[in-house]
A and B are shown apart, each in its own frame.
Chain A
Amino acid sequence: MNMTEHDTLLDIKNLTLSFGARKVLDNISLSVPRGAIYSIIGPNGAGKTSLINCINMHYKPDSCDMMFDGIQLKGIYPHKVAALGIARTFQKVELFHGMTVLDNIKLGRHFLMKFSFLGSFFRLPNIVKDEMKHRQEIEEEILDFMGLSSFRYSPVGALPFGVRKRVDMARALAMKPKLLLLDEIMAGMAMEEKEDIASYIMDVQRDLGVTIIWIEHDLSAVMDLSDRVCVLNFGNKITEGLPEEVQKHPQVIEAYLGTQEVK
């Protein structure tokens, strides 16, 4: 992909997050180019998920300067961040287990739907029309795309893990995001399911034009698909660059394989 320096979608400067005395993220700065697949890798406990939680504003960072598409994210409530166009999937699937797949995905559309209490109570025509318009889009663009049509009415609690991950991604896509945060979406999947997810990720980037921040432990998938890779270790950013540059970086090798002790 051809990317220029000034076309950044998300620009984070000096992000610091601490839980009590423990610094989880220490002065992280990174910029995510528009339209890219930007991967974040690092050993367990490096602070990858915390970083995503900060972008969602689910965690309140101690200090930061986060510009998303020209808007300062600091101090915004999480539900407003969603409305700006930041969607995410969760490491442990956080779906609404009592509802059907269709209702879960419709919830992704929540803030795009018209609100009117009396309209909902008496099911007035304009509310029904709005709801049906969204249902139509979900059926045509998302259920088909993610291969979930046959699970439409299944309660999420009764579905296998791989399908739930897909529902999670479908719900995020229903939000019509500009930026999609994927938190270890391939974890615990078989090879075939991973390949499916990889093709979804590529389709989302190319066909829908969504920028993706992707946390993953499967390094071969990350190196194949990513446009840029960022490596975190113990809350510090080690390096950032093209996949092939990052692979050769000595500190990255050290973080993953440990140092060689010479006696």
Chain B
Amino acid sequence: MRTVSEWYNSTFSSTAVFNHREDERIFRTRFKRTWFYIFLAVNVLVFIASSLGFGANEYHYFILNLILVNLVAVIGLNLLVGFTGLLSLGHAAFMGVGAYTSALLITEAGFPLVISMIIAGLVAAMAGLIVGIPSLRIKGFYLMVATLAFQMVIDYGVIHWESLTRGVRGIELPTPDFFGLALKEQKSYFVFLFAVTIVMMWGAKNLTRSKIGRAFVAIRDNDISAEIIGIPIFPYKLLAFSVSAFYAGVAGALFASLMRTAIPEDYHMMNSIMLLAMVIIGGMGRLTGSIFGVIFMTMVPVLLDNFFSYLSIVYDPNITIMLGPAKEFVYGGLIVLFIIFEPEGMFAIWMRIRDYFRIWPLPYISE
């Protein structure tokens, strides 16, 4: 029998690494791995409780689904903006390409969601390849303007190409399915989304710790020396664009199935800016940061909404009319404050908290 302290030590304090492969794991220490399993277990418990009628309801799961869908798109955008250093203002358009592709495949050809989602990603990746071509000659803000042009084209296209997209009425989608198994409730769709998000997150993390991800960062940090040490710049830029667009396309397909409709205003330029804001607030070039950024940007408007409707019940029903615009101000203000006081994003805050607790009870004994 192991004692409690032995168990505690081997679970939470062991940081030993015995070979290079262990050294490059995602959760390098037992401590991190344990917390990840705890996180999964909590998810399962919440799900079971919710099926029995306690705790999280359908609305809560809808918000969680929204977070997961945005997360897939933001991981992709972070690979492009944060890792490769190429700005894009056309990411909602890539989502739109994915959403409409998937919607058409499901309604017209009866594809299952998983297949249509992958095809949607590939179609968006092709679009990304084309949008990435100007990056041969231009970078920075000029490239951003080029992606903006793509956004404009898609904005116009989805409204006016009525024979394909049905214009402003949009395409209605049936209940999402997993190879015939209907995901009717929000929480069953959540299970599917959760699995997809974990795979996409894991894939992105794998890319960043392989030669491909290192080449992306090399192009961001110093493209001239990157080329001189043997990295072909342009193919890698195109790869970054198409991978990023693939993520956006998959996210678009998932979003359309979540909303049960594909309509033009969901993929408008404003959404591109929101996605970019999520990357910046989370922390550029940090996948963990993206999780925080997405949660922050999705939850703040929801919480403000709930707060104001609470106020209207407690004090005065008219308060919502008065404070309606205030919501936007608070939201915008929070974003501005974040960028002023924490330009490196929420990831920097997370790092500080982690460093504090790493040496926690005895801070004067440094490493």
Contact = CB atoms under 8 A, between A and B. Distances in A.
A136 B21 CA distance: 10
A135 interface: yes
A120 B218 contact: no
Contacts of B233: 79
A78 to B, nearest CB: 5
Nearest to B204: A121
Contacts of A87: 229
B289 to A, nearest CB: 14
A181 to B, nearest CB: 10
B228 A107 contact: no
Contacts, number: 100
Contact of B227 (A78, A95, A127, A136): A78
Interface of B: 20-21, 24, 203, 206-207, 210-215, 217-218, 220-222, 224-233, 239, 285
Given A79-B233, A110-B230, 13 more contacts: A77-B232, A79-B227, A81-B228, A94-B224, A97-B221, A98-B217, A98-B220, A98-B285, A107-B229, A108-B229, A117-B212, A121-B206, A127-B210
Interface residues of A, number: 42
Contacts of A115: 211-212
Given A99-B217, A115-B211, A88 B206 contact: no
A83 B214 contact: no
B222 A96 contact: yes
B274 to A, nearest CB: 25
A106 B21 contact: no
B230 A111 contact: yes
A194 to B, nearest CB: 23
Contact of A96 (B24, B211, B221): B221
A120 B211 contact: yes
Interface string A80-112: 011100011010001111110001001111110
21 contacts: A77-B232, A78-B228, A87-B229, A96-B221, A98-B220, A99-B221, A103-B214, A107-B218, A108-B230, A110-B211, A110-B230, A113-B211, A115-B211, A115-B212, A119-B210, A120-B212, A121-B207, A123-B206, A131-B211, A136-B20, A175-B230
Nearest to A87: B229
Given A94-B222, A110-B211, A123-B210, A82 B217 contact: no
A196 to B, nearest CB: 23
